[in-house]
């Protein structure tokens, strides 16, 4: 087999090996927050999603409790604020990780 063919096969193999391990970002906008649970570094929020009205439950990892004050504000005043939470998964190792996604940012917005 020629060197060119070997290099082509190697490049294609590496491309397909890494395409399945991309990071995924999830953004949820809550119209109402119903529950908030913090256990060590894992945070769980349950609420009603904006626009769809569907009940949504998200779990993410927050090492610094950055969003706690905003989440509690949204929980105390249901329907007054929109809470946006964005999290991102890490590239999938082999075997896949069971850790929840990491927090990217959160935002609290007063409804108008």
| Rounded average pLDDT over 103-109 | 93
The Cα angle at residue 22 between residues 82 and 86, in degrees rounded to 5: 10
Alpha helix locations (H) across 1-112?
Answer: 3-19, 68-76
Q: Please give the CATH topology (third level) of the domain spanning 23-110.
A: OB fold (Dihydrolipoamide Acetyltransferase, E2P) (2.40.50)
Residue ranges covered by each domain of the chain? 23-110
pLDDT digits (tens, 9 = 90+) for 41-88: 889 999 999 999 999 999 998 888 889 999 999 999 998 999 999 998
N- to C-terminal Cα separation, the chain = 67
Give kind and range of the element (H or E) at residue 31.
strand 25-39
Give the pLDDT score at 40: 82
Whether the pTM exceeds 0.85: the reply is no
């Amino acid at each position: 087999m020629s060197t060119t063919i070997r290099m082509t096969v190697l490049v294609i193999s590496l491309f397909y090996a890494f395409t399945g391990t991309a990071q995924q970002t999830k953004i949820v906008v809550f119209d109402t927050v119903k529950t908030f649970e913090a256990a060590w570094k894992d945070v769980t929020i349950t609420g009603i999603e904006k626009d769809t009205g569907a009940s949504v439950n998200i779990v993410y990892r927050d090492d610094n409790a950055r969003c706690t004050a905003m989440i509690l504000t949204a929980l105390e005043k249901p329907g007054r604020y929109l809470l946006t939470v964005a999290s991102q998964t890490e590239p999938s190792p082999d075997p896949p990780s069971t850790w929840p996604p990491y927090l990217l940012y959160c935002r609290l917005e007063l409804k108008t």
